Amino acid sequence: MNSAVEFRDNISIVLCGEAGQGIQTVEILLTRFLKRFGYNFFSTKEYMSRIRGGSNSTEIRISSQRVSAYVDRIDLLIPLSREALTHLKPRISPETCIIGDPEKLTGTNGNNEYSFIEIPFSRLAEEVGGTLYANIIAVGVLSALLELDRSLIDENLVRFFSRKDPAIVEKNRSALVKGYDIGLGLSRAGTLRIAIDRDPDIESDIVINGAEAVGLGALAGGCSVITSYPMSPSTGVLTFLSQRTKEFDIIAEQAEDEISAINMALGASYAGARSMVTTSGGGFALMEEGVSLAGMLETPVVIHLAQRPGPATGLPTRTQQGDLEMALYSGHGDFPRIIFAPGTLDDAFCLTQQAFNFADEYQSPVFILTDQYLIDSYYNTPMPDLSGMRIDSHIVKTDADYQRYVFTRDGISPRGIPGFGDGLVVVDSDEHDEWGHITEDLKLRVSMVDKRLKKREAMMKTCIPPELIGDENAPVRIVCWGSPFPVIREAVGKCGDGFAILYFRQLYPLHHDTADMLTKAEHLAIIEGNATSQFGRLLKLETGIDIGRKLLKYNGLQFSVEEVCGFLESLR
């Protein structure tokens, strides 16, 4: 180490090691501590599709201001495996401070290109009980550098490992103490200091990730049944709600496959439940017949589709925004649907809550499009505003003459459920008459298709408009949707004047002001995480406007603030 290193205002900390080395444990423990001690933070991870080996990394940004976006920059790197430096080499700069085992740093500092602080994690871990404890030593080092209270950290550590054997808990405590003492020594000696202001305004914030935000939104929307066949990255929503079945009177069912999952959700919805399925691209491909069934039965269902790269198995643990067109065109035949795409944790909560009301009101499928990056990202965020939220139920009590598919002006028939009233609630996957009985009357067929499509006009009245962020007179408007939004927002803030963002939370149907908001800009550009600009093509189809300038990414990684800044500068 040639000179003292000090970080102020914000820091990007990255830990990297093999699968099985406990990198995720470090993330979970630190993110629990940071907000409690008044630090704004953002955390996300990238990991390979394997149980052991490979290289996984976690980025934790700590800032004096709110932060919710990924950066390529690494200020402080803790490599827990020899391969970590090779894996992260494109992100390491001369300003990166690396701390770790001397043997894991061998060969990287021959020309003094990087700053190093040697900490023998492996040897210290062996003294505790094995190399497995190196990750907890790292937690201790970072906790001391951030001036976190050791007794409270110890208390949380014991709680986190409470189900382990008492001897293992004590070894983890010992590892924490070793790391904390090292970090304290570095800070006191001035070798390495992290001096970031704490934020008193975040005391009432919550700390959640994307899966939890969607799950909480489902609870707020009155979800009473969730069905799924596990598939990353969507499984976190099923897990979250499964752990709360008794508290919120929810049925959580892991079906034998995705076809069963969506059909179970539709059956529950027919009976009056507010149903949800959670899946990812390959799983949703199997559900498409069920989407058509929902369209024909005019039965509400919320579909959470957590995107990952395809086709086929693709990159199962990576991220992409590649399933918009699949959600848009899924299912055979013509029938309406709604597609939401949250870009923040607050939006993930609010849009999921709204999805249940819209599904119930319009008796149609409603999609929530997320992706691996959003699902696995944590940060502190204000408690969502619950004051205007309500659970809107549109179920009616039937009489003896009840017709499930009676024609109405807006195409929405009063929805009855079995056992609530005197009527018989008949549904059929074949074309049917007003009573729900199968028919091959071709004139009636046309009337029924028109009836279902009329609901799109009603949906337009409650469309969520795109949000313009920044100067409405800025010469360049950046169109975006979903998880890249916070990254773009930070990049625009760094690049100065000249740019505004047009952020779409609802992708379909599009708000009637969309074309007007696009044409008011002197120049348009679009940023999305797929190879063909799927949303750009939808905008052209619906508005006739072709956005020529594009930043597209489809290598399985999320956008970074730096690469968006580079793209913005190229537009000047």
Percent over 90 (pLDDT), the chain: 86
What is the total residue count of the chain? 572
pLDDT at residue 522 is higher than 60: yes
d(CA 191, CA 211): 39
d(CA 496, CA 490): 10
CA nearest to 75, candidates 91, 54, 96: 96
Alpha carbon 504 to its chain centroid, in Å, reads 16
pLDDT at residue 110 is higher than 60: no
Please indicate, yes or no, whether residues 176 and 243 belong to a single structural domain of this protein: no
pLDDT at residue 112 is higher than 70: no
Q: Any residues with CB less than 8 A from the CB of 483 and at least 6 apart, and which?
A: 319, 321, 343, 370, 371, 373, 374, 377, 529, 558
Q: N- to C-terminal Cα distance for the chain?
A: 41
Q: Which domain holds residue 77?
A: 5-198
Please indicate, yes or no, whether residues 262 and 307 belong to a single structural domain of this protein: yes
Please indicate, yes or no, whether residues 445 and 373 belong to a single structural domain of this protein: no
Q: Which of 174, 198, 222 is the last residue of a domain?
A: 198
Written in H, E and C, the secondary structure of 82-112 is CCHHHHCHHHCCCCCEEEECHHHHCCCCCCC
Please indicate, yes or no, whether residues 249 and 271 belong to a single structural domain of this protein: yes
Percent over 70 (pLDDT), the chain: 97
How would residue 416 be classed by pLDDT, with cut points 50, 70 and 90? very high
pLDDT at residue 109 is higher than 50: no
d(CA 259, CA 288): 8
pLDDT, tens digit (0-9, with 9 covering 90-100), for 166-198: 999 999 999 999 999 999 999 999 899 999 999
456 part of a folded domain: yes
Looking at residue 49, what is its pLDDT?
80
Amino acid at 78: I
Q: Give how far Cα 529 sits from Cα of 203, 379, 478, 481, 537, Å.
A: 34, 21, 14, 9, 14
389 part of a folded domain: no
Under DSSP, is residue 441 helix (H, G, I), strand (E, B) or coil?
coil
Looking at residue 246, what is its pLDDT?
95
d(CA 24, CA 26): 5
Please indicate, yes or no, whether residues 455 and 531 belong to a single structural domain of this protein: no
Q: Any residues with CB less than 8 A from the CB of 289 and at least 6 apart, and which?
A: 259, 331, 332
Q: Give how far Cα 134 sits from Cα of 295, 424, 500, Å.
A: 53, 65, 45
Cα radius of gyration (the chain): 26
Q: Which of 198, 218, 252 is the last residue of a domain?
A: 198
pLDDT at residue 535 is higher than 60: yes
Mean pLDDT for the stretch of residues 35-56: 87
pLDDT at residue 59 is higher than 50: yes
Please indicate, yes or no, whether residues 170 and 35 belong to a single structural domain of this protein: yes
pLDDT at residue 532 is higher than 80: yes
Q: Identify the CATH number of the domain in which residue 539 sits.
A: 3.40.50.920
Please indicate, yes or no, whether residues 89 and 35 belong to a single structural domain of this protein: yes
Q: Which of 73-87, 97-111, 310-324, 537-551 has the lowest mean pLDDT?
A: 97-111
Under DSSP, is residue 50 helix (H, G, I), strand (E, B) or coil?
coil
Q: Identify the CATH number of the domain in which residue 25 sits.
A: 3.40.920.10
pLDDT at residue 403 is higher than 70: yes
Please indicate, yes or no, whether residues 171 and 307 belong to a single structural domain of this protein: no
Looking at residue 2, what is its pLDDT?
52
d(CA 132, CA 145): 22
How would residue 137 be classed by pLDDT, with cut points 50, 70 and 90? very high
Looking at residue 459, what is its pLDDT?
97
Mean pLDDT for the stretch of residues 65-77: 97
Please indicate, yes or no, whether residues 424 and 503 belong to a single structural domain of this protein: no
390 part of a folded domain: no
How would residue 483 be classed by pLDDT, with cut points 50, 70 and 90? very high
Q: Give how far Cα 343 sits from Cα of 126, 388, 488, 504, Å.
A: 43, 21, 11, 9
Report whether the peptide linkage leading into residue 230 is cis, meaning its omega lies within 30 degrees of zero: no
Q: Any residues with CB less than 8 A from the CB of 138 and at least 6 apart, and which?
A: 15, 26, 78, 80, 121, 179
Mean pLDDT for the stretch of residues 548-567: 98
Q: Which of 24-33, 120-129, 310-319, 364-373 has the lowest mean pLDDT?
A: 24-33
pLDDT at residue 388 is higher than 80: yes
CA nearest to 192, candidates 10, 13, 2, 7: 7
Looking at residue 31, what is its pLDDT?
86
Looking at residue 28, what is its pLDDT?
87
Looking at residue 111, what is its pLDDT?
43
Contact 339, 328 (CB under 8 A): yes
Contact 229, 254 (CB under 8 A): yes
Please indicate, yes or no, whether residues 485 and 523 belong to a single structural domain of this protein: yes
Please indicate, yes or no, whether residues 265 and 370 belong to a single structural domain of this protein: yes
Please indicate, yes or no, whether residues 148 and 11 belong to a single structural domain of this protein: yes
